[in-house]
Structure 1
Amino acid sequence: MFLPHIYHCLDRSVQLLLSQGARPDLVSSKGVAAIHLAVGKETEKNIRCLKIMLQHGADPNIRSAEGLTPLHVAALWGCYQNLKLLLLNGGNPNIHDNVTISIIFTRYHLVLFAYEESFHNEKLNIILVFSYLGYSPELCLALRTFKLPNCQSDEQSLCLQFDQPDQNRKWREGIIKSSFNYLLLDPRVTKNLPFRSHTMTPQECFQTFISAIFYVGKGKRSRPYSHLYEALEYYKGDKSAKRLCPKVQHILQVWSTGQGVISLHCFQNVIPVEAYTREACMVEAIGLKMLTNQKRGDFYGVVSNWQSKRKRELGIHLLYRAMQIFLAEGERQLRPADIRQR
């Protein structure tokens, strides 16, 4: 027996039907279960209905005909309380729908509504979202407590080795100091963070900054723009969009809103292996699942022998330094028109 009253979310009727043996996980002829319908709105009645269904064993990961889980639905409709309930009751944020989009896809949706005024008024803990989505344990701790690892000496060790590299050793891509790191940021999340930062705590700034990063790279000269040029070909319709990589897909999603991608350049004028090592530390700190990067980075020199925890902590330190650069330089967005003119 399906739960028809869920369309109007009459919690008493739902309670009665469930007590009489109604199946909360039964998928209807329309391809959805009752829990999918309940999580799409965040009224008091809907929240009560969701709690009742979860108490009666409703599966928080049940898939619709399109492969959507209740988490997908709640995230898409910006229902934070429903999301919180689902996550606390076993909702899996890593499940993909039939189009291979996971809840990670909507990490940006989560942050967009999580930082709304109502979120601050209720004093809810955004680390709940961060932890479940897949950041490294060290970064989760830093986001929750804002106790950043003290890695100045580790960064100094990294710099010293590559500032005057051994001339007799063959380093990857040579020893010319023409490399740098760059981060691609989502403006839907930053919302001009440098401008807003004066009204936010440093912890809130760092949380927002981390949430906005969707790619970490290393490059020379115009390397960051190669991603944008590639996306531009799809944007203009010159290529089929059937096999878009996650990075290009994300760029196109930003452009579709009329906004531009933010390309933040940092740690400039270093040799390639130093830039590769910094990139790898930041990727490890954030976690590959939280980025559109396809693979982990490569470590070189003394850092390659460090334990993973130490590498991730250095990554957090570097990310915080990158944020300080971003706040000082201001937000600059790159739209399709800007790329065409290059």
Structure 2
Amino acid sequence: MNKTKLKSMTYRDAGVNIEVGDSMVDIIKPMAARTHRNDVLAGIGGFGAMFQIPKKFHEPVLVSGTDGVGTKLRLAFQLNKHNTIGIDLVAMSVNDILVQGAEPLFFLDYFACGNLDINIAKNVIDGISYGCQLAGCALIGGETAEMPSMYIEGEYDLAGFAVGAVEKNSIINGNSIKNGDLIIGISSSGAHSNGYSLIRKIIDNANIDIYEDFYGKPLHEVIMEPTRIYVKPILSLIEKFSNKVIKGLAHITGGGLSGNIPRILKNQLSAEIYRDSWKIPPLFTFLQQKGNVEDDEMFNVFNCGIGMIIVIEPDMQSEVINFLSENGENAMVIGKIIETNNNSKINIL
């Protein structure tokens, strides 16, 4: 009887190249090293990263956040532009934990693909590293997962999470916000990483050429502008004026102004927003016109030019706005806190 000898199979036969994955670790290590703080005890390469809570904290509370970048990834694939999407990834988590007064300490990412393309992965991780530098946190670990047949060639998925710390007696939670307090808005850099399913739908339905000129820049560059990271100016603001002055912070992320400001307001309080108090960037006006989007929907989906809001005492207006301006932020009063007897938590006038 003839016996057919079966071919010995390898992981590479299944579509996974261990050697390429190992080389990716070597590429990531210097990128991560650029972000390291003295508190990093063990980073990239081990089974688990280790980070020592800085000694300056006396009663630290850990604050964590996780996020992705949504369907902005689809435009990154279409444009073959991967060098800034990592900044978005970091921004979405660090801006979230910032609003409780937390200093981001470290960040980890998850990069999943069908077949690992070193050049694409390098560009993505380089963006993550740069985002961590902007946020002052350390990139101490992550996961690069190569999963054949799970993703189309050239495509990948991203997720990440940040951990920060805040003194227990310095947590910003909105509890001290009261009637008459002012709402300061800080400008966004664009659409950040929210509303891209609608953006892409508008582009498709209106047959928009994303390579056309848009106020002196290609439209796709304006659409793909990375999310602004507010960590350093906001932490400096808190350090200068304390959490007694900074009564509330809200990251204007998914849900827009309408969905995020109410998250920091107690019962019987509402936010009154004056839409003529800041100039809505041309990108949002363009999207609204091309998509025939109602005003309410715009404020429910997009940040409309405001990426972060701060609630303060009225007599601190000039000092806070001047400080933010000196630290490179465009800030202005966009509304105030009022008492309400109904369920409406925000009115955009």
> Could you state the TM-score of these two structures normalised by the residue count of structure 1?
0.31
> Could you state the TM-score of these two structures normalised by the residue count of structure 2?
0.30
**Greater fraction of residues in helix:** 1
Larger RCO (alpha carbons 8 Å, 6+ apart) = 2
**Greater fraction of residues in strand:** 2
